Structure 1
Amino acid sequence: MNVSLILLILLLGALATFLSGDKFASKVALFFSLVALGCSSVLVNHFLGGVDINVNNPWILQPHVSFALKADGLSLAMVLLTVSLTPLIILTGFGNHFEKSKNFYALVLFMAFAMTGTFLAADGLLYYIFWELALIPIYFIALIWGNGDADERKKAVVKFFIYTLGGSLFMLIAFAYLYINAGSFLLEDLYKLNLTATEQTWIFFAFFLAYAIKIPIIPFHTWQAKVYQKAPTIGTMLLSGIMLKMGLYSVIRWQLPIAPLAAKMYMPTLIGLSIAGVIYGSIVALRQKDLKKLLAYSSLAHVGLIAAGCYTLTADGLSGAVSQMIAHGFVIVGLFFAAEVIFRRFGTYKIEDLGGIRPQASKFTSMFMILVLASVALPGTFNFVGEFTVLYSLSQVNIWFAIFGGTTIILGAYYMLKMFQNVMLGETNTKVFADVTINETIVFVILIAFLLFYGLYPKPIVDLVNPSITEILKTINR
């Protein structure tokens, strides 16, 4: 058994979902996503037991391209994030009706397949193919099943598509140059290249453009809020919970080890840019009147801090960034699902039209409050582990980076608690708000249980990831 089995299950699941018809599509998609999760858990156990689950087979002879998948602790952690969130995201859709649902859920599974492939690929061209494949399903998901005015939605989605595709082309050019020098796209061969400082600078920023747009890092963020707002909530969850992690993961896996001299040279600038995103996202979130847009800018602030951790080039920074990627994935999916639950009852995301929910829905209020507290990194939640470690790593580089980066906790607590107060508290709303259903409760309980368990005991994830981080740092510091 090797790691390609996960990809096969997700791809076959997408095909089976499409062929199952609209009536059974969501259930078939959920079944295959759970099978992928079970398979991933088995493979991780094999990996921890010392079994080689990597794949490296010749694929294209000219140019020399291999179907190579690297299963180490870092990639497996991101695969587990993907296959854990995918069934939960699918389950959140059980309360919605989607026209041509077989197409919709097939695209969701195909996107999970492409994102998983991105995290596993150990050949540059194969990685690029998976990277671009992940863009196609979310384009159609947001365009066809999105919210609001059709023209505005189309404008937002096309902008997102062009931005990300354009940035990725620079990355493709970088891979072509690396292939000319290495004679191979294999990750291990690219790591061995001895590029000049000038060459590394060009390669570094070619990668940076692709990743900065995907994450996003300011000033490449302008597509994000509109797309998060206009996409159906399942699409928003896929984007914020998993897809943006492709960019952050790629910084650690591809950008830093291939161009370490440039990474060290531009470290202060990149950390400063990332922290500027933290402050900008938090301030803009304070002014939002739409719940989904507020959460979008909140996500922008948090991923800015994660990016800053990546660019510290320290063990604590990289380890904390990975922990925070996983924690952010779970909490942001929970928050967007809470927004969707409210929309199902009240038919609006406008904060001024909400309020008075707590007296009618005590269970929902309690679970929403826990997610809000997790998002502001309350001690005892997994988000605290990641943010504290990243801030500590920033203090090792420069104490001012840690101070300004820490504003995400202060400002985040202010705008999130203010949002909770306006949305949930106050006198009973004239509209009836039914408390959470069984399906909704299952999703919230799983998300919260994960955040609390690993907030108190993060060791399994840290131990899984840290050996890979150590190897990458050896490559950076060679």
Structure 2
Amino acid sequence: MNVTILLLTLLVGAIATYLSGKKPAAKVALFFGLVAFVETIALICQHNAGTDAGYMTQWIANPNIHIALKADGLALALTLLTTALTPIIIFSSFGDHIEKSNTFYALVMFMCFAMTGTFLAADGFLYYIFWELSLLPIYFLALLWGNDTFEIRKNVIFKFFIYTFAGSLFMLLGFIYLYTKTGSFLLHDLYNAQLSSTEEYWVFLAFFLAYAIKIPIFPFHTWQASTYEKAPTVGTMLLAGIMLKMGLYSIIRWQLPITPSAAKEIMPTVIILALIGVVYGSIVALKQANIKRFFAYSSLAHVGLIAAGAYTLTLDGLKGAVLQMIAHGFVIVGLFYVGEIIYKRYQTRMIGEMGGIRQQAPKFASAFMILMFASIGLPGTFSFIGEFNLLFGLSQVNIWYAIVGGTTIIFGAFYMLRMFQKAMLGETNTIVFADLTTRESAILGILAIAIIFLGIYPKPIADLITPSLVEIVSYIK
């Protein structure tokens, strides 16, 4: 078995979902999502057994472009995150009234296909195609099924599309220039490109612009909160849980090994920008009245720390970045789902209009509390493992980077506990808040189990990604 089977499953799933009709669309999408998850587990087992599940064949002779897919531990770890979260996200929307649901779920499946392709691609041109393809479904999901009126959200979503698309064009120019130097888009050929320090500098910046917008890194974050707020919750979970990881992953997979000298030279500036995002996101989160915007700025702070760790160029920093990518994916999807449950009960996303939920819904409050503790990196949760490695990696470069980065834990504890008190404790709202349904319990239970299990026993993921990261570090040093 190779990874083309997984990609075909997701693509066929998108087509089958669209053709299935409105009523069965959600179930068809869930079925193919679960099949893709099982296939990913099989690919990981195959990888651990020493069998290469990658694939390569020439696609176009001139220019020299290949359909090349790399199934190493790093790619499979992010593929696992994608195929694990996609069924959860689909299942979370069961029971919702969605117009043209077959189109809606087909777009979700196609986005999963494109994001998975981005993580697996080992040819720069193929990688760019998958990167851009992932933008189209989220654009339509947010535009057609988003919150507020069409007139209000269209400007927000259009800004998001143009912003990210324009940044990606600079990355394409970087790949085209690299092709003129190597005659190939293949990953290993680009790793061995002979570039001058000036050439590395400009290629680094071309890639950085695309990745900084996608993640986002301060000050390229201006699209994020509004887009997260206006997108439907399924779209927001896809954006925050998986799509932003494309930028973080690409820093490690593409940018750093291709431009190591430039990365070392520009490293202090980039780390400082990322750490500014940590502090800025935390402070702005404190002022948010809307729970979706609150989680959006919380996410900005956390991904700022991940980006800072990745740019340390150390094995510990890279390992912490990947571990935290996966942990953040499970946590942020859970938090946005919590926000959606509250909205369905109260018909509001304003934190000030909540209160006393714990008295009426103790199971819900307990699940929320687990996600909250995971968000602030409490020991015993997966986030703690990632944050520890990130801060350790930062300390190897400059102890002050680790100190400033560590403020995300302090700030996070403050704003998350403060929000939890307002929403869960205090006076009981006059509106009855029903406790978790069986489906809601299952979704939050799966997320909680994953967060706690990997927090106690992260070895399977750490062992999966470490050999790939060791190889990448060898190109950086």
TM-score relative to the length of structure 2: 0.99
Q: Which amino acid aligns with 1:123?
A: D
In structure 2, the residue matched to 1:156 is 156
In structure 2, the residue matched to 1:44 is 44
Q: Which amino acid aligns with 1:441?
A: S
For residues 411 and 52 of structure 2, the distance between their equivalents in structure 1, rounded to whole angstroms, comes to 45
Deviation at residue 427 of structure 1 after TM alignment: 2.1
Q: Which amino acid aligns with 1:193?
A: A
For residues 271 and 18 of structure 2, the distance between their equivalents in structure 1, rounded to whole angstroms, comes to 44
Percent of aligned pairs sharing the same letter: 64
Contact 2:263–2:311 under 8 Å retained in 1: yes
> Does residue 371 of the first structure (1) align with residue 371 of the second (2)?
yes
Contact 2:228–2:293 under 8 Å retained in 1: yes
Q: Which amino acid aligns with 1:15?
A: I
In structure 2, the residue matched to 1:63 is 63
In structure 2, the residue matched to 1:28 is 28
For residues 145 and 288 of structure 2, the distance between their equivalents in structure 1, rounded to whole angstroms, comes to 24
Q: Which amino acid aligns with 1:425?
A: L
For residues 72 and 470 of structure 2, the distance between their equivalents in structure 1, rounded to whole angstroms, comes to 12
In structure 2, the residue matched to 1:311 is 311
For residues 73 and 255 of structure 2, the distance between their equivalents in structure 1, rounded to whole angstroms, comes to 18
For residues 229 and 328 of structure 1, the distance between their equivalents in structure 2, rounded to whole angstroms, comes to 18
**What SS does structure 2 have at the residue aligned with 1:94?**
coil
For residues 226 and 319 of structure 2, the distance between their equivalents in structure 1, rounded to whole angstroms, comes to 31
Contact 2:216–2:224 under 8 Å retained in 1: yes
In structure 1, the residue matched to 2:54 is 54
Deviation at residue 60 of structure 1 after TM alignment: 1.1
In structure 2, the residue matched to 1:357 is 357
Structure 1 window deviating more from structure 2 (147-156 vs 48-57): it is: 147-156
**What SS does structure 2 have at the residue aligned with 1:358?**
helix
Q: Which amino acid aligns with 2:366?
A: S
Q: Which amino acid aligns with 2:135?
A: L
In structure 2, the residue matched to 1:202 is 202
- Map Cα deviations across residues 102-121 of structure 1 (whole Å, 9 max, x no partner): 00000000000000000000
In structure 1, the residue matched to 2:107 is 107
Q: Which amino acid aligns with 2:249?
A: Y
**What SS does structure 2 have at the residue aligned with 1:98?**
coil
Deviation at residue 465 of structure 1 after TM alignment: 0.3
In structure 2, the residue matched to 1:462 is 462
Deviation at residue 62 of structure 1 after TM alignment: 1.4
Stretches of structure 2 that go unaligned for 5 or more consecutive residues are none
**Aligned 1:203-352 pairs, distance under 5 A:** 203-352=203-352
In structure 1, the residue matched to 2:409 is 409
In structure 2, the residue matched to 1:180 is 180
Deviation at residue 52 of structure 1 after TM alignment: 1.6
For residues 418 and 216 of structure 1, the distance between their equivalents in structure 2, rounded to whole angstroms, comes to 25
**What SS does structure 2 have at the residue aligned with 1:95?**
coil
Deviation at residue 151 of structure 1 after TM alignment: 1.8
Deviation at residue 80 of structure 1 after TM alignment: 0.1
- Map Cα deviations across residues 98-149 of structure 1 (whole Å, 9 max, x no partner): 1000000000000000000000000000000000000000000000000013
For residues 161 and 290 of structure 2, the distance between their equivalents in structure 1, rounded to whole angstroms, comes to 23
**What SS does structure 2 have at the residue aligned with 1:378?**
coil
**What SS does structure 1 have at the residue aligned with 2:67?**
strand
**What SS does structure 2 have at the residue aligned with 1:68?**
strand
- Map Cα deviations across residues 397-431 of structure 1 (whole Å, 9 max, x no partner): 11110111011000110000110111111122100
For residues 152 and 389 of structure 1, the distance between their equivalents in structure 2, rounded to whole angstroms, comes to 42
Deviation at residue 95 of structure 1 after TM alignment: 3.3
- Map Cα deviations across residues 268-297 of structure 1 (whole Å, 9 max, x no partner): 111111000000000000000000000000
Aligned-residue RMSD, C-alpha: 0.6
Structure 1 window deviating more from structure 2 (202-211 vs 147-156): it is: 147-156
- Map Cα deviations across residues 334-386 of structure 1 (whole Å, 9 max, x no partner): 00000000001011100111111111101000000110010000000000000
Contact 2:181–2:194 under 8 Å retained in 1: no
Structure 1 window deviating more from structure 2 (427-436 vs 204-213): it is: 427-436
**What SS does structure 1 have at the residue aligned with 2:106?**
helix
**What SS does structure 1 have at the residue aligned with 2:218?**
coil
